[in-house]
Amino acid sequence: MIITIDGAVGTGKSSVAKALARDLGFIYVDTGAMYRCITYAILKHHIDINDSAALTEFLKNFQYSVKIKLGERFYFVENEDVTLKIRSAEITNAVSKISALPAVRENLVALQRRAAVGVNGIFEGRDMGTVVFPDAQLKIFLTGSPEVRAARRFKELREKFPEDTENLTVEEVLKDINARDDSDSTRAISPLKQASDCCVVDTSNLTIDDVVLKILEFKDTIRARQATSH
């Protein structure tokens, strides 16, 4: 079974996907981290994204891997641990532009579909239910008020990068997430949007456990429906 979870920045996608995967014993794939890893590698190698030959050559050789240690995910690009680096402001500011490139998406969508073969998995991102897994059995779309999402993201950034974010304000974070959501929602290919057959959950006033419970209810409803339709 494939469950997709899409949504804007700060809606709780990763935390929900992680908790749900643990409860169900499913694998969990954070596709945003994949776009962040590719962005990291493009910046590191100074790839000119307007030079299609150079980009194609780079994508052919791009190597990325994930290791799981005590339930935590560690991301590697060419054997370098980039787990924290891919969450930095430099990568966050560049990722939407890189993820709008058709060649980049083609490359990562192929990896995502390959990761889904023969497994029970939860795939979290922006276009999981619309483009990558249009036939997924359960599609979730998370929403939330911009203010609550900005507050969550602010807390996360303060915890991860205490020194770099000493002067950061919630207002700045709100501006940044609005800009990224706008760019992700208006790009030409695979924009962030709800699949016509998705279940929408507004997470503004819910805990992670509340959201997980709601998704489990949706899953049970689908199973019950399938059982009675045969």
Residues that bind ligand C5P (CB under 6 A): 9, 31-32, 35-36, 95-96, 99, 125-127, 180, 184
Identity of the residue, 9 or 55, whose beta carbon is nearer to ligand C5P in the bound complex: 9
Identity of the residue, 24 or 30, whose beta carbon is nearer to ligand C5P in the bound complex: 30
How far apart are CB 125 and ligand C5P at their closest, in Å?
A: 2
SS3 category, 71: coil
How far apart are CB 220 and ligand C5P at their closest, in Å?
A: 26
How far apart are CB 52 and ligand C5P at their closest, in Å?
A: 19
Identity of the residue, 7 or 58, whose beta carbon is nearer to ligand C5P in the bound complex: 7
Identity of the residue, 4 or 58, whose beta carbon is nearer to ligand C5P in the bound complex: 4
Q: Rounded CA gap, 179 and 58, in Å? A: 28
End-to-end Cα separation, the chain, in angstroms: 18
The b-or-e profile of 35-65 (16+ CB within 10 A means b, else e) is bbbbbbbbeeeebebeeeeebeebbeebebe
Identity of the residue, 9 or 206, whose beta carbon is nearer to ligand C5P in the bound complex: 9
How far apart are CB 108 and ligand C5P at their closest, in Å?
A: 8
Identity of the residue, 31 or 203, whose beta carbon is nearer to ligand C5P in the bound complex: 31
How far apart are CB 228 and ligand C5P at their closest, in Å?
A: 33
How far apart are CB 189 and ligand C5P at their closest, in Å?
A: 9
Task: Give the DSSP letter of residue 138.
Answer: E
| Beta strands, E only, 95-209 | 121-125, 138-143, 199-202
Q: Considering only CA atoms, which of 12, 184, 4 is closest in space to residue 92?
A: 184
Q: Considering only CA atoms, which of 175, 18, 157, 13 is closest in space to residue 91?
A: 157
How far apart are CB 140 and ligand C5P at their closest, in Å?
A: 14
Q: Rounded CA gap, 110 and 127, in Å? A: 13
Q: Which residues are within 8 A (CB) of 221 and not within 5 positions of it... i.e. 6 or more apart?
A: none
For residue 207, the tally of other CB atoms under 10 A from its CB is 11
Identity of the residue, 114 or 225, whose beta carbon is nearer to ligand C5P in the bound complex: 114
